[in-house]
C-alpha cells in the first residue's frame, strides 16, 4: 500500500518560506549590528605618521566607539591623509573645535584613536556656557558639515585648540602613561643642563687660557694685571715704610738728644735749689761779705762779662732747641700724610691679596711666603 501525505507540497513550501524569513531576519540583524542600514557621516584629518592608524581602526570617546578609519594615504607633503566616518548616533557631538588624538602606549600595548568634541558655545560678553532656558541644560554646538576637516592634536590647529582649552578633553587616569609622558620633558631638561654645563666649562677653559672676551675673561685678565702690579706695589710700600722708618729714627734721635739736655738742665736746677735750701751750704758762704761773691764781684766786671757770655750761649741753645721743635712740628703733617698713604697702600695690597686668595679659579695656585722679620726696630723698643 503506497503511503501518501495530503498537502505535502503546501507543507514543504511553508518550511521554505519560514526558512527564507528566518534568513532575512538574520541578515537584517547582522546588518543592523554592522550598521549596514545606518547613516554614517564622513570626515577627514591629517596625521604626521601612520603608525597606529590603519583602515578599520576604531575611534572612541570615553570608552564608546563613535566611528572608524576608512582610508589612509600619503600626500605630497609627506603627511598621512585619513578619511573616517562618525556614526549618526554621535554626529551631534561633531562640532567646532573637535579634535582627534592618537595615543600610542609607551610600553608596547598598542594605540588608540580618541575623539574629543568641542566645548559648548559661550556668551562672548559673560563668557558663560549658553543653556536652554526651558531645560537648563548646556546648548550643543552646531554639528560640522559632512566632509569637514577635523585636526589632530599633533597639528598646529589642534595645539591651538588645546592651548585655548576649546576641546572637551577628559582627565586621563593612566598612571604609567602620565609618568612616562613626564620622562621626556625631564630628559630634555637634563640635556639642556648638560649642554649648559659644557658651555660653562668651555668658557672657563677659554678664560683661563686667555682666549675669552666675555665677563669671565675680563675678570681673569684683571686678576692677572693686578697680580702683575702687586710686586711693584709691594716694592713701593716697602720703600715708603723704609723711608718712614729712617725719618722716624732721625727724629727720635733728635728728640732723645733734646730730652737728654732737658734732663741735664733739670738736674742742675734741682742741685741749685738744694744748695740754696742748705743754710750751711755754698749760697750762705757766697753771700757772706767776706765770702766768695764779694771777692768775685770785685774783679773789674770780669764776672759780669763771663755771665753775659754764658747767657748768650744759653740763648743760642734755646734758639737751637726752638728750631728743632719747629722743624719737628713742620715734619709732623708730612709724617701723618705718609702714615695715611702707607696705611692705604697696605689696605689695597691686603684687598688684592684677599681677592686673589678667595678667587676659585686660582685658589691654591699662589705659593705661600715665609714672613721675614723687619730689619728696623719698633719705635717703642727704645728707651727715652
Residues ≥6 apart with Cβ < 8 Å to 177:
103, 105, 106
Long-range CB pairs of 233-237, under 8 A, 24+ apart, other chains included: 233/345, 233/348, 233/349, 233/352, 234/349, 236/345, 237/342, 237/345, 237/346, 237/349
pLDDT of residue 88: 86
Give 167's strand partners.
118
Longest dimension (CA), the chain: 218
User: Cα(75)–Cα(328) distance, rounded to whole angstroms?
Assistant: 103
pLDDT of residue 376: 46
Is the Cβ–Cβ distance between 116 and 66 less than 8 Å? no
What are 33's three cell numbers?
Answer: 549590528
Phi, psi of 100 (to 5 degrees): -115, 140
pLDDT in tens, the chain (384 residues): 454 566 777 888 888 899 899 988 888 888 767 666 678 899 999 998 888 888 988 999 888 899 999 999 999 989 999 999 998 888 888 888 899 998 876 655 667 889 988 887 666 565 555 555 555 544 556 788 888 999 998 888 988 888 888 888 877 655 555 666 667 777 878 888 888 888 887 777 776 666 666 666 677 666 767 677 777 777 777 777 777 778 777 877 877 777 787 778 778 777 777 766 666 666 666 666 555 566 666 666 776 777 788 888 788 877 777 777 777 777 777 777 777 788 888 888 777 777 776 766 555 555 555 555 555 454 545 554
What are 123's three cell numbers?
Answer: 556668551
CA distances from 331 to 147, 246, 324, 336 (A): 106, 13, 11, 9
- Dihedral sign for Cα 20, 26, 29, 33, please: negative
Is the Cβ–Cβ distance between 38 and 87 less than 8 Å? yes
What are 134's three cell numbers?
Answer: 526651558
Indicate the pairing of strand 111-116 with strand 58-61: parallel
Is the Cβ–Cβ distance between 342 and 244 less than 8 Å? yes
Query: Looking at the whole model, is its pTM more than 0.85?
Result: no
Is the Cβ–Cβ distance between 104 and 51 less than 8 Å? yes
Amino acid at each position: 500500500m503506497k503511503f501518501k501525505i495530503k498537502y505535502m507540497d503546501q507543507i514543504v513550501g511553508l518550511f521554505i518560506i519560514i526558512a527564507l524569513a528566518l534568513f532575512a531576519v538574520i541578515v537584517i540583524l547582522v546588518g543592523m549590528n554592522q550598521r549596514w542600514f545606518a547613516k554614517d557621516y564622513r570626515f577627514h584629518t591629517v596625521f604626521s605618521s601612520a603608525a597606529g592608524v590603519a583602515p578599520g581602526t576604531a575611534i572612541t570617546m570615553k570608552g564608546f566607539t563613535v566611528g572608524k578609519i576608512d582610508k589612509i594615504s600619503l600626500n605630497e607633503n609627506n603627511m598621512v591623509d585619513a578619511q573616517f566616518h562618525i556614526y549618526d548616533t554621535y554626529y551631534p557631538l561633531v562640532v567646532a573645535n573637535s579634535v582627534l588624538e592618537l595615543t600610542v602606549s609607551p610600553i608596547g600595548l598598542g594605540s588608540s584613536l580618541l575623539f574629543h568634541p568641542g566645548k559648548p558655545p559661550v556668551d562672548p560678553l559673560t563668557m558663560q556656557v549658553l543653556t536652554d532656558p526651558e531645560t537648563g541644560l548646556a546648548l550643543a554646538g552646531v554639528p560640522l558639515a559632512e566632509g569637514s576637516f577635523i585636526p589632530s592634536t599633533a597639528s598646529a590647529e589642534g595645539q591651538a585648540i588645546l592651548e585655548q582649552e576649546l576641546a572637551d578633553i577628559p582627565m586621563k587616569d593612566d598612571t604609567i602613561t602620565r609618568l612616562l609622558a613626564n620622562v621626556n620633558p625631564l630628559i630634555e631638561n637634563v640635556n639642556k643642563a648638560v649642554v649648559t654645563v659644557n658651555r660653562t666649562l668651555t668658557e672657563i677653559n677659554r678664560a683661563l687660557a686667555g682666549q675669552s672676551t666675555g665677563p669671565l675673561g675680563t675678570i681673569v685678565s684683571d686678576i692677572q694685571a693686578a697680580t702683575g702690579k702687586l710686586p711693584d706695589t709691594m716694592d713701593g710700600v716697602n720703600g715708603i715704610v723704609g723711608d718712614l722708618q729712617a725719618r722716624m729714627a732721625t727724629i727720635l734721635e733728635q728728640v732723645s738728644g733734646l730730652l737728654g739736655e732737658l734732663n741735664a738742665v733739670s738736674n742742675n736746677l734741682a742741685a741749685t735749689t738744694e744748695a740754696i735750701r742748705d743754710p750751711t751750704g755754698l749760697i750762705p758762704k757766697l753771700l757772706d761779705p767776706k765770702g766768695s761773691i764779694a771777692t768775685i764781684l770785685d774783679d773789674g766786671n770780669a764776672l759780669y762779662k763771663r755771665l753775659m757770655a754764658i747767657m748768650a750761649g744759653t740763648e743760642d741753645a734755646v734758639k737751637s732747641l726752638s728750631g728743632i721743635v719747629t722743624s719737628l712740628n713742620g715734619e709732623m703733617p708730612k709724617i701723618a700724610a705718609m702714615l695715611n698713604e702707607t696705611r692705604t697702600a697696605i689696605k689695597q695690597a691686603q684687598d688684592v691679596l684677599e681677592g686673589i686668595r678667595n678667587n676659585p679659579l686660582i685658589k691654591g695656585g699662589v705659593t705661600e711666603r715665609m714672613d721675614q722679620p723687619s730689619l728696623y726696630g719698633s719705635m717703642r723698643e727704645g728707651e727715652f
